[in-house]
């Protein structure tokens, strides 16, 4: 375990933030001569500052510093070239000695390695597939549940909500038990004559686990928008001569765009950062970007925490870009509700 030590300025920052919060709280109470409704949101604001803002600042700090606290960009260079830190630790003298011996960096296995970038690209591809499949499955499901003529719509909503009451890890473990060699799915395949298949420890298993866990996050934003849509618009379009397909294409689909964008965001970003699904269903053979970040923080190497912070910062930038896109397409957050 790395000997992690919060810098002195980190303690000062947390202390100053807490003191400032208490001071503002006292000033607010004195100004308003008592408590008003907004004051009850102050614990939540304090929670956000202590457990969100300050940790993000710490991640940014360690991203741009080395283990000694000096400013450096080497952590981001390590993201671009995973062997960069190893070459730096050897020093120029050792590299010169190997060069004099006629050994190149490639011979030593110290040439430029794109493992980190390849892992990010692979994670983005897996997240893209997961999002696309969730959209193809989720939009029809949301459209059916929002149809007022479909009496089982509320029942389907409950069936989608109930699994979310279960812990994320328990759902994944339950899926793993269904897909294992002696699980229910293979038993059914053997019973119908297809034979047992290797369903776990591969990319397809990880993809199935991601879709299973994140599908509700695609369905509910779309359902929320469709459910609030004024059905008089569809009736007016049909009165003007549109059939059901043209009503869907001209009216329903454009109005559901905020929910679609919200669902894409809520599925894509967790899919990129997930790591426990790949560990369980991939058997440790499939590494996503979240697995890479976790391995950095669990490493005993001196500077891996700093590299892990840089990787986390890169992922946070992707999240901010995604939220920026959502804000442009759905500025009022119409598709952001779950139910």
pLDDT of residue 166: 84
Together in a domain, 26 and 123: no
User: Hey, CA dihedral for 166, 167, 170, 171, is it positive or negative?
Assistant: positive
| 311 in the same domain as 231 | yes
The reply to whether 50 and 180 lie within a common domain is no
Same domain as 286, residue 143: yes
- Contact predicate 196/300, CB 8 Å: no
Domain that holds residue 44: 8-63
In a domain, 334, yes or no: no
Do residue 174 and residue 53 come from a single domain? no
In this structure, the answer to whether residues 49 and 136 fall within a common structural domain is no
Q: How many CA atoms lie within 13 A of 320 on its CB side?
A: 7
Cβ neighbours, 10 Å, residue 143: 18
Map tokens 């004099």 to a residue.
100
Residue 78: inside a domain: no
The torsion angle over the Cα atoms of residues 25, 31, 36 and 42, rounded to 10 degrees, is -20
If asked whether residues 248 and 134 sit together in one domain, one would say yes
**Distance from C-alpha of 20 to C-alpha of 59, rounded to nearest angstrom:** 22
DSSP H stretches of helix in the chain: 8-32, 42-48, 54-63, 74-80, 84-100, 115-146, 153-161, 168-179, 184-191, 203-228, 231-239, 244-247, 253-255, 257-273, 276-281, 289-298, 304-329
**Does any domain span residue 137?**
yes
| Torsion angles phi and psi, residue 239, rounded to 5 | -65, -30
| Co-location of 277 and 148 in the same domain | yes
Tell me the angle at which helices 304-329 and 257-273 cross, rounded to the nearest 10 degrees.
170
Q: Are 251 and 236 in contact (CB under 8 A)?
A: no
| Residues 25 and 119 grouped into a single domain | no
pLDDT of residue 95: 66
Do 15 and 149 have their domain in common?
A: no
Q: How many domains, in total, are found in the chain? A: 2
The segments of the chain whose pLDDT lies below 50 read 1-2, 337-339
Cβ neighbors of 40 (< 8 A, separation 6 or more) are: none
pLDDT for the residue 339: 44
Specify if 16 maps to a domain: yes
| Helix, coil or strand: residue 254 | helix
Q: In terms of domains, do 167 and 55 share one?
A: no
Are 124 and 251 within one domain? yes
Question: What are the C-alpha distances in Å from 66 to residues 40, 235, 259, 304, 310?
Answer: 41, 64, 43, 10, 11
């Amino acid at each position: 375990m790395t000997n992690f030590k919060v810098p002195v300025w980190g303690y000062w920052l947390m202390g100053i933030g807490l003191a400032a919060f208490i001071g503002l709280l006292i000033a607010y109470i004195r100004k308003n001569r008592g408590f008003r409704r907004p004051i009850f949101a102050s614990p939540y604001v304090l929670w956000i500052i202590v457990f969100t803002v300050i940790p993000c600042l710490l991640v940014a700090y360690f991203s741009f510093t080395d283990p000694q606290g000096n400013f450096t960009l080497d952590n981001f260079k390590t993201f671009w070239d995973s062997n960069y830190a190893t070459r730096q630790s050897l020093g120029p003298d050792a590299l010169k000695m190997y060069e004099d011996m006629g050994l190149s960096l490639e011979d030593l296995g110290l040439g430029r390695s794109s493992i980190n970038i390849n892992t990010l690209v692979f994670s983005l591809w897996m997240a893209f597939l997961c999002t696309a499949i969730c959209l193809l499955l989720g939009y029809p499901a949301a459209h059916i549940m929002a149809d007022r003529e479909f009496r089982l719509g509320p029942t389907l909503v409950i069936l989608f909500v109930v699994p979310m009451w279960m812990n994320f890890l328990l759902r994944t473990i339950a899926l793993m038990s269904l897909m294992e060699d002696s699980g229910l799915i293979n038993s059914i395949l053997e019973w119908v004559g297809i034979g047992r298949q290797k369903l776990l420890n591969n990319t397809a298993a990880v993809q199935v686990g991601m879709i299973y866990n994140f599908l509700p996050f695609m369905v509910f934003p779309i359902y929320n928008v469709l459910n609030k849509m004024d059905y008089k618009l569809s009736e007016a379009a049909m009165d003007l001569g549109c059939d059901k397909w043209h009503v869907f294409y001209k009216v329903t689909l454009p109005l559901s765009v905020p929910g679609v964008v919200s669902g894409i965001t809520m599925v894509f970003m967790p899919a990129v950062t997930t790591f426990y699904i790949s560990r369980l269903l991939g058997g440790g053979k499939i590494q996503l970007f979240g697995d890479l970040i976790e391995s950095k923080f669990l490493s005993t190497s001196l500077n891996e925490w700093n590299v892990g912070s840089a990787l986390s910062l890169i992922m946070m930038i992707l999240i901010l870009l995604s939220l920026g896109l959502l804000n442009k397409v759905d500025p009022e957050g119409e598709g952001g509700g779950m139910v």
